[in-house]
Amino acid sequence: MYSIQQNIEQVTKQIRTAEHKCGRVPSSVQLLAVSKTKPIEVIKAAIEAGQKAFGENYVQEGVEKAQYFTEHYKNSGLEWHFIGPIQSNKTKPIAENFQWVHSIDRSKIAQRLNDQRPENLPPLQVLIQINISGEESKSGTSESEVFQLAELISSLPNLTLRGLMSIPANVSSYQSQLNAFTKLSAIQSKLADKYTNVDTLSMGMSGDMEAAVEAGSTMVRIGTAIFGARDYTTKS
Ligand SMILES: *Cc1c(COP(=O)(O)O)cnc(C)c1O
């Protein structure tokens, strides 16, 4: 049984090794700890190990955690990233409680997050989610619609467009993983040419982070390798 701290050290080492192997600048890839379904106590252990950025998928659960830690860990520089699918009737608590949103996939969601972002908070840092493998079961905009959505987001004062997020089809071969990530990286470069704040490419999870780093990821979203397998049986 490994501790959360050991797991974070191990994952960080894996990221640094992957950066080194492909000649990336050391520490150019950030670790987002995906804490969905995991209790407060486990997140505390990750914070004690130095982790600052956390990703959550479910609105109610994520809001509860973000509020708890915002209240109890003031000025500790924690960041809450919403990375799950967004229903339009759930945008308000997201706009009010998170610093980042990775999963904007349509204009209605962008508009609502902008309108509902409280004026006393800095702009929400946002990524457009692309469905790069075209799987019907996955959310995300199509490649052809990314630039239209980017244009809208860049016109909204309470959102800052930072880049792209994607969850490619789950494939086991390194080369197939690399192919999908390389496609994303090319779209990201075009976006960065057009919009000055674009610097973030959120791709790579526990099973494919090395390929993501090789293709240019700047943020890997890691759940299982840090917190262990998730138990969904207690969730309704
Ligand atoms: C759950 C989840 C992750 C983490 O996946 P692991 O395989 O547990 O590392 C990353 N990104 C998103 C969008 C997720 O929903």
Domain with 16 in it: what CATH number?
3.20.20.10
Based on its alpha-carbon atoms, the radius of gyration of the chain, rounded to whole angstroms, reads 17
* Residue 235 reports pLDDT greater than 70: no
User: Which contiguous run of DSSP H or E holds residue 165?
Assistant: strand 159-166
Domain that holds residue 216: 4-234
Q: For atom 7 of ligand 1, which residue has the closest CA?
A: 206
Spatial contact of 110 and 85, defined as CB atoms under 8 Å apart: no
What pLDDT was estimated at residue 137? 84
pLDDT averaged over every residue in the chain: 96
Tens-place pLDDT, residues 157-199: 999 999 999 999 999 999 999 999 999 999 999 999 999 999 9
Which numbered atom of ligand 1 lies nearest the CA of 225?
9
Distance from C-alpha of 180 to C-alpha of 115, rounded to nearest angstrom: 34
The four Cα atoms 31, 80, 6, 167 give a dihedral, to 10 degrees, of -50
> What percentage of the chain has pLDDT greater than the value 70?
98
Alpha helices in the chain, H assignment, sequence order: 4-21, 40-48, 59-72, 91-97, 107-116, 146-154, 174-194, 209-215, 224-227
Quote the Cα angle for 171-173-179, to 5°: 80
Half-sphere exposure of 122 (CA within 13 A, CB side): 6
pLDDT band of residue 234 (cuts 50, 70, 90) is low
Number of compact structural domains in the chain: 1
β-pairing verdict for 53-56 and 30-34? parallel
Tens-place pLDDT, residues 62-110: 999 999 999 999 999 999 999 999 999 999 999 999 999 999 999 999 9
Neighbours of 82 (CB within 10 A): 30
Which numbered atom of ligand 1 lies nearest the CA of 83?
13
Distance 53 CA to ligand 1 centre (A): 14
Distance from C-alpha of 201 to C-alpha of 183, rounded to nearest angstrom: 12
Residues 6+ apart with CB under 8 A from 195: 150, 154, 161
Which numbered atom of ligand 1 lies nearest the CA of 221?
10
DSSP character string of 91-154: HHHHHHH-SEEEEE-SHHHHHHHHHHS-TTSPPEEEEEEE-TT--TTS--B-GGGHHHHHHHHH
Q: Identify which of 138, 209, 221, 222 to mutate to test ligand 1's pocket (most ligand atoms within 8 A of the CB).
A: 221
Distance 34 CA to ligand 1 centre (A): 6
Tens-place pLDDT, residues 210-223: 999 999 999 999 99
What pLDDT was estimated at residue 176? 97
Tens-place pLDDT, residues 119-132: 999 999 999 999 99
Weakest-pLDDT range from 22-26, 112-116, 135-139, 207-211: 135-139
pLDDT band of residue 236 (cuts 50, 70, 90) is very low
